[in-house]
Amino acid sequence: MLDFNPDPQIGGRVLRLVIDAVNECNLRCTYCHPGEVWKRQQLPARRVAAAIEAAEAAGVLEVVLTGGEITLHEDFGAVLDATNLLQRAASTLITNATRLTADTAEQLARSNLTRICTSVDGVTNELHGSARGKNLPKVLDGLRTLNGTGKPITVITVVHQRNWERVVELSYFLAEHGLASQHHLCAPSFSGQARAHYPELRLREHEFHGVQEIVDTNHRDLAAAGLYLTFNSFWPATGLTPLAVNPSRTMTLQQLSEQVKDTLCNIRPSGEFRLQAATWGREMVGNAALGSVSDAPVADLLSRAEAILAEGSARQMPREVEARHKFQLGTAANSTTTDLLIGRTDTPEPAPDVDLIPIRSVNDHWILNNPIDVEAVAAQLRSRPNDHRVVRHPSETILLFDRSRSLVTVLRATEWEQVATAIGPEAVTA
């Protein structure tokens, strides 16, 4: 049966809660953004559990458990056990897959995780190791171990100057060997330690278009082979819509949270609870912190976030300004100016002014201009009803969430009525 709740007070604006449970990693990828340095800091498992419980009660669609490298958490088993608190919300874990043991794999298999993400940057050790360290055999062993847990796998590739032209070779490798159901590409952002390496990593504007052209050319064939290929950074970087991948109303929840800035909150290993409306990577414009989960219940912080977002006092950067700073794109891009903006400099020079704008919410999303195939949406819901949630956003927009693939289909209320009619009342619960 479908989990459709018609009460708009149940479904909130915060759709995704990212919990950075550890601030340490066993790798030193040059594009990573931990902050100034990795320093051992962990969010206690009991606070992770409290955050998960609060997210479930608040109607959040997905909780993401990450780090750093999440398997370094001293109570990793307890963190996984906390996923059993979830009934409606999906849970995603992100790992570099280099520390997996048979015991870890068994814990993952027993958990209530909905899917697992891991990073692979190329089909050869040279490509994969160009910014991560040459450990591809170990990562592939870990990926095979993850595949054996029975959880859907998403591979994340950071595309940069050294690997982007051959990234689709990895896509076909993953599809051929059944190692993943999704392959998400993302560009490195100007954040944390990546700032020091950005000149040799950053994608230039024509390279963003080149990556998207690769995705457009191969998306349909790979989808037929069971792999969903997408480039999550194309819209925020260029402002153009990837119509070959999103010709109707569906996109990844990651893409939606990149484009709709009132959908995401983040808890840091220190306990700091942040809005993500004017942030990227680990960087903040102004002060996005609402408090600490060490001092206040997560439910209260989520409620405060919802209230701030509902009243419209939170602001975001214009898309092109965010691209200028996050990806160093455009003629006005200047790393020194960006460092001043995010407080990463010791100079007394004041931070540049940025005119923040009201957040354009999901009901004003460009994807609503795309056509809708009512029968195709209804058929998808009928074929896998237990994998979906259907919630009414406070804007009255209807979100169909594919939990196992973390895909969102966006509908107007009248369109949902048509879909519900096509499904039949016996398939929907109130």
Of 9 and 411, the structure prediction assigns the larger pLDDT to 411
Pairwise CA distance, residues 111 & 150, whole Å: 11
pLDDT band, residue 35 (cuts 50/70/90): low
pLDDT at 320: 95
- What confidence tens digit (pLDDT) does each residue in 57-102 have? 999 999 999 988 999 999 999 999 999 999 999 999 999 999 999 9
Cβ neighbours of residue 401 under 8 Å, at least 6 residues apart? 61, 62, 90, 253, 388, 389, 390, 391, 407, 408
- What confidence tens digit (pLDDT) does each residue in 252-280 have? 999 999 999 999 999 999 999 999 999 99
Q: How far is CA 24 from its chain centroid?
A: 20
pLDDT at 264: 96
Average pLDDT, the chain: 91
- What confidence tens digit (pLDDT) does each residue in 3-24 have? 544 333 357 899 999 999 999 8
Cβ neighbours of residue 72 under 8 Å, at least 6 residues apart? 22, 24, 25, 26, 99
pLDDT at 323 over 90: yes
Pairwise CA distance, residues 98 & 140, whole Å: 9
Q: Would strands 153-158 and 289-292 be described as parallel, antiparallel, or unpaired?
A: unpaired
* Maximal C-alpha separation, the chain: 65
Pairwise CA distance, residues 358 & 260, whole Å: 11
* Cis check: omega of the bond before 68, within 30 degrees of 0: yes
Q: Which residues of 386-406 are buried (b: 16+ CB within 10 A; e: fewer)?
A: ebbbbbbbbbebbbbbbbebb
Pairwise CA distance, residues 148 & 301, whole Å: 37
Mean pLDDT, to the nearest integer, of 42-66?
97
CB-count burial class (<10 Å; 0-12, 13-18, 19+) for 36: exposed
pLDDT band, residue 282 (cuts 50/70/90): confident
Q: How far is CA 330 from its chain centroid?
A: 25
13-341: CATH architecture = Alpha-Beta Barrel (3.20)
pLDDT band, residue 113 (cuts 50/70/90): very high
pLDDT band, residue 34 (cuts 50/70/90): low
pLDDT at 246: 82
Choose among 133, 134, 155: nearest CA to 144.
155
- Asked if 390 contacts 400 with a C-beta cutoff of 8 angstroms, the reply is yes
Q: Where are the domains of the chain?
A: 13-341, 367-429
* 103 strand-pairing partners: none
pLDDT at 125: 96
Cβ neighbours of residue 107 under 8 Å, at least 6 residues apart? 76, 77, 80
Pairwise CA distance, residues 247 & 267, whole Å: 33
Provide DSSP, 164-192: GGGHHHHHHHHHHHT--SEEEEE---S-T
Choose among 345, 318, 316, 343: nearest CA to 330.
318
Amino acid at 259: Q
Q: Would strands 398-402 and 388-392 be described as parallel, antiparallel, or unpaired?
A: antiparallel
Of 38 and 240, the structure prediction assigns the larger pLDDT to 240
pLDDT at 284: 87
pLDDT at 289 over 70: yes
Between the CA of residue 237 and those of 146, 187, 204, 254, 423, what are the distances in Å? 32, 9, 10, 15, 38
Pairwise CA distance, residues 191 & 202, whole Å: 11
Question: And the tokens for 318?
Answer: 């214009």
pLDDT at 329: 96
- What confidence tens digit (pLDDT) does each residue in 331-384 have? 999 999 999 998 888 887 888 888 899 999 999 999 999 999 999 999 998 888
- The 8-class DSSP code of residue 113 comes to -
* SS3 annotation, 390-401: EEECCCCCEEEE
Query: Which SS3 state, helix, strand or coil, does residue 200 take?
Result: helix
pLDDT at 6: 36
- Asked if 385 contacts 285 with a C-beta cutoff of 8 angstroms, the reply is no
pLDDT at 33: 64
Angle between helices 374-383 and 413-423 (to 10 degrees): 50
Pairwise CA distance, residues 100 & 98, whole Å: 6
Query: Which SS3 state, helix, strand or coil, does residue 257 take?
Result: helix
CA dihedral over 296, 297, 298, 304, signed as positive or negative: negative
pLDDT at 40: 80
Pairwise CA distance, residues 202 & 327, whole Å: 7
The pTM (predicted TM-score) of the whole model is: 0.94
